[in-house]
Chain A
Amino acid sequence: MPDLVEARELSYGEAVNAALHRLMAELPETLVYGEDVGVPGGVFGVTRGLRKRHGDRVFDTPISESAILGSAVGAAMMGRRPIVEIMWADFSLVALDQIVNQAANVRYVSGGRLSAPMTIRTQQGNAPGACAQHSQCLEALFLHVPGLRVVMPSTPQDAYDLLVTAVHCDDPVLVVENRTLYSGPKERVRVGGPVLPLGGARIRRAGWDVTIVTWGAITQRVLEAAEALAREGIEAEVLETPWLNPFDTEAVVESARRTRRLVVVHEANVTGGFGAEVVARVAGAGVPLLAPPVRIGTPDVRMPAAQVLARALVPDSARITAEVRALVRH
Chain B
Amino acid sequence: MSERRLADLLTMWRIRAFEEKVRDLRAEGPIVGSVHLCVGQEAIPAGACDVLEPQDALFATYRGHGWALARGVPAEPLFAELMGRATGVNGGRGGSAYFTAAEYGFHGENSIVGAGAPIACGAALAGRFDGSNRAAVTVFGDGAMNQGAVHEAMNFAAAFALPVLFICENNRYSELTPIRDMVRAPRLADRAAAYGMPGHRIDGNDAEAVRFHVRDALEVAREGGGPTLLECMTERLVGHYIGDAETYRQPGELDRIGRREPIVRLREGLLADGVPASAVDAVEGAARAEMERAATSALAAPPADPATAREHLYA
B93: chain A residues within 8 A (beta carbon): 132, 302, 304-306, 309
Interface residues of B in 172-229 (CB under 8 A from A): 174-177, 181-183
Q: In angstroms, how far is the closest chain A Cβ from the Cβ of B107?
A: 15
State the CA gap A299–B193 with chains docked (Å): 48
Tell me whether A102 is interfacial, beta carbon within 8 Å: no
For the complex, give the distance between the alpha carbons of A309 and B33 in Å.
Answer: 14
Contact with A along B96-128 (1 / 0, CB 8 A): 111000000000001111110000000000000
CA distance A312 to B308 in the complex (A): 10
Residues of B within 8 A of A317 (CB): none
Question: Is A301 in contact with B310, judged by CB distance below 8 angstroms?
Answer: yes
Decide if A184 is an interface residue (CB 8 Å cutoff).
Answer: no
A290 sits at the interface (CB 8 A): no
Considering only CB atoms and an 8 Å cut-off, how many residues of chain A contact the other chain? 39
Bound CA–CA A130/B177 (angstroms): 23
B84 within 8 A of A: yes
A133 adjacent to B33 (CB under 8 Å)? no
Inter-chain CA distance A309–B96, complex, in Å, is 15
Interface of chain B residues 144 through 177 with chain A (CB within 8 A): 144, 146-149, 174-177
- Tell me if B247 is interfacial: C-beta within 8 Å of chain A: yes
A61 near B97 with CB under 8 A, answer: no
- Chain A 17-40 interface mask (CB, 8 Å, partner B; 1/0): 000000000000000000110011
Select from chain A the residue with minimum beta-carbon distance to B303: A308
Contact indicator A36/B98 (Cβ below 8 Å)? no
What mask results when residues 92 to 122 of chain A are scored 1 for a CB within 8 Å of chain B, else 0?
0111000000000000000000000000000
Q: Which residue of A lies closest to B32 (CB)?
A: A129
Shortest Cβ distance from residue B174 to the other chain A in the assembled complex, whole angstroms: 6
CB distance from B191 to the nearest CB of A (A): 13
Chain A residue nearest in CB terms to B181: A60
* CB under 8 Å from chain B, chain A span 57-75: 60-66
The answer to whether B96 touches A40 (Cβ under 8 A) is no
Q: Pick the residue among B91, B146, B306 that contacts A64 (CB under 8 A).
A: B146
Residues of B within 8 A of A94 (CB): 112, 114-115, 147-149
Q: Are B182 and A305 closer than 8 Å at their CB atoms? A: no
Contacts of B97 in A (CB 8 A): 131, 133-134, 305
Q: Are A130 and B98 in contact (CB under 8 A)?
A: no
A307 to B182, CA, bound (A): 36
The answer, yes or no, to whether B40 is at the interface (CB within 8 Å) is no
The listed residue with most A CB atoms (<10 A of its CB), out of B144, B181, B310, is B310
What residues of A have a CB within 8 angstroms of the CB of B247 in the complex?
40
Q: Which B residues are in CB contact (< 8 Å) with A95?
A: 148
Q: Is the CB of A306 within 8 A of B148?
A: no
For A60, A63, A308, the residue with the greatest tally of chain B CB atoms inside 10 Å of its CB is A63
> With A and B bound together, what is the CA distance between A36 and B93 in angstroms?
29
A306-B92 Cα distance, complex, nearest whole Å:
5
Q: In this assembly, does B258 line the interface, its C-beta being within 8 Å of a C-beta of chain A? A: no
Question: Is A301 a contact of B309 with CB atoms below 8 Å?
Answer: yes
CA distance A283 to B265 in the complex (A): 71
> Could you tell me if A306 and B95 are in contact, using CB atoms closer than 8 angstroms?
yes
Question: Do A39 and B248 have beta carbons less than 8 Å apart?
Answer: yes
Min CB distance A180 to B, Å, is 12
The answer to the question of A313 belonging to the interface, with a C-beta cut-off of 8 Å to chain B, is: yes
Q: How far is the CB of A84 from chain B (nearest CB, A)?
A: 15
> In the assembled complex, which residues on chain B have CB atoms less than 8 Å from the CB atom of A142?
none
Q: Is A43 an interface residue (CB 8 A)?
A: yes
User: Across the interface, do B33 and A312 meet the contact criterion of CB distance under 8 Å?
Assistant: no
A311 part of interface (Cβ distance < 8 Å): yes
Q: Does A90 contact B (CB under 8 A)?
A: yes
**In the bound complex, do residue B310 and residue A305 qualify as a contact, i.e. CB atoms below 8 Å apart?**
no
- Contact present for B32 and A36 (CB under 8 Å): no
Q: How far is the CA of A305 from the CA of B31 in the complex (A)?
A: 11
Please determine whether A63 and B174 come into contact, CB atoms closer than 8 angstroms: yes
Do A306 and B177 have beta carbons less than 8 Å apart? no
Bound-state CA distance A132–B247 (Å) is: 29
Shortest Cβ gap from B18 to chain A (Å): 18
B262 beta carbon closer than 8 Å to chain A? no
Known: A304-B92, A305-B98. A62 touches B183 (CB 8 A): yes
> Does B33 lie within 8 Å of A128, measured CB to CB?
yes
Residue pair B182, A61 in contact (C-beta under 8 Å): yes
Q: Is B304 interfacial (CB 8 A cutoff)?
A: yes
Using Cβ atoms and an 8 Å threshold, which residues of chain A touch B81? 305
**A63:B94 contact, CB within 8 angstroms:** no
User: Besides the contacts A64-B148, A93-B112, A305-B81, what 15 more A-B pairs have beta carbons closer than 8 Å?
Assistant: A35-B174, A36-B175, A36-B176, A36-B177, A39-B176, A43-B175, A63-B147, A63-B174, A129-B34, A134-B111, A299-B310, A306-B88, A306-B91, A306-B93, A313-B310
**B interface list, Cβ under 8 A from A:** 31-34, 81, 84-85, 88, 91-98, 110-115, 143-144, 146-149, 174-177, 181-183, 247-248, 303-304, 306-310, 313
Task: List, sorted by A's number, 9 A–B pairs whose CB atoms are closer than 8 Å.
Answer: A63-B143, A63-B147, A63-B174, A128-B32, A304-B93, A305-B95, A305-B97, A306-B88, A310-B309
Interface residues of A (CB under 8 A from B): 35-36, 39-40, 43, 60-66, 90-91, 93-95, 127-134, 299-302, 304-313
Q: Which 8 A-B pairs have the closest CB atoms?
A: A129-B33, A305-B95, A306-B92, A306-B84, A312-B306, A62-B146, A40-B176, A129-B32
